[in-house]
Structure 1
Amino acid sequence: MAHFKFGIYLILAFAFNWVKCFDEAADLNVKVTIQNLTTFLNENSEIKELFPLVKEQVSHDPTSLSKLTYSAGERVDGDQLVATVSESYSWNTSGDRRLVITYPRAGAGALITYIQIVVEQSTPHGKAAITKGGLGLRYIEFYIDAYQTNYMNYTVEIYGFY
């Protein structure tokens, strides 16, 4: 019985450290919220698309994932990566999904010069737009929409000056 308890504690310790490693991989100054797009729009009818991000590249092979790259602004001499976040989600059924990303979580961040979002998803349909703050400011909120998808893997990079 003692070996069994030790095994349980060992598994719990491993699981806690594994989750902790993934938590540390994400930038703690970026807040990410994922929502069902239809529900989000019904609950937030006052939100308007302020600045659509440019969809730079779309590649789609029916047997693999689609890769969409969105960006706004441009890199400037001396700017640096000030925040990054990357995560994957999967669902049992396809649906319209929205990620809402806010930088910084609180207070003022760096002066933002450029953002880039790379999304791999199960369909080639989506868009992204800035809804609050933006380029040349110290805060930004934007969304990434993926339509009729059951998988999303995204990486966001935010560049600026402190």
Structure 2
Amino acid sequence: MNFILSLSLVCVALMTVTVSAKNVPTSVSGKEINEVRIIDDIRNYARSHPGTKIIPMIKEQSKARTQSVRYTLGGRVSGDSLVAQGTDTYSYAEPNDVSLQLSYPEEGTGAVVTHVEIVAIQNNNLGNAYVVSGGIGQRSISIVIEAQETDYFSYKALYYGA
């Protein structure tokens, strides 16, 4: 399925999304942004959250000219299924450093996370993704995605669990 077309999918499960950039928009696709958390440096984030274990996700570069980056963690297992997904797009008038924090579930107890896949589309391939809490084999996960010097950022996150 064409990724750009799949971005129009509606978020099926509850997720928390926090966005930061030099020029933070006040709304995205007509919806107000409720919370903005600036994450200038992942190492500073870890220092300010004692006990946080930063786990780098596997980064795969797209061979296509779309400038997409695929981040994965864990793997599909027998009996798991898609338990949440989310997507959003951000545009800026000039290049920005963007940080995005995704969390599953938004509240309560989720399924045991088996696999996470995030595909980001941006102007370049500069950036990384880190697990900052929870993780594979746990009932929650929080991920920080970073993209540098981009005026366009779009993502699709898929969470699998059992």
Report the TM range for the smaller structure's normalisation.
0.7 to 0.9
Q: Which of 42, 46, 56 matches 2:48?
A: 46
Greater Cα radius of gyration, structure 1 or 2? 1
Gaps of 5+ in 2: 1-7, 23-36
Report deviation, 1:57: 2.5
- Check conservation: 1:66, 1:123, Cα contact below 8 A: yes
Task: Determine the structure 1 residue equivalent to 2:15.
Answer: 30
- Check conservation: 2:13, 2:85, Cα contact below 8 A: no
Structure-to-structure mapping, 1:133-148, within 5 angstroms: 133-148=134-149
Identity %: 31
- Check conservation: 2:81, 2:160, Cα contact below 8 A: yes
Task: Determine the structure 2 residue equivalent to 1:89.
Answer: 90
Size of the aligned set, in residue pairs, is 136
- Check conservation: 1:103, 1:109, Cα contact below 8 A: yes
TM-score by length of 2: 0.76
Give the letter aligned to residue 31 of structure 1.
T
CA distance in 1, matches of 2:95, 2:64: 17
- Check conservation: 1:59, 1:68, Cα contact below 8 A: no
Task: Determine the structure 1 residue equivalent to 2:33.
Answer: none
CA deviations over 1:68-110 (Å, ceiling 9, x no partner): 0000000001100000001111011111100100111111100
CA deviations over 1:12-39 (Å, ceiling 9, x no partner): xxxxxxxxxx8x9113411111112894
CA deviations over 1:31-51 (Å, ceiling 9, x no partner): 111112894237845246611
The range that moved more, 126-135 or 34-43, is 34-43
Q: Do the aligned partners of residues 113 and 99 (structure 1) sit closer, same or farther apart at CA in structure 2, a change above 3 Å counting? A: same
RMSD: 2.3
- Check conservation: 1:36, 1:96, Cα contact below 8 A: yes
Gaps of 5+ in 1: 1-21
Report deviation, 1:156: 0.2
- Check conservation: 1:110, 1:138, Cα contact below 8 A: yes
TM-score by length of 1: 0.76
Give the structure with the higher percent helix. Answer: 1
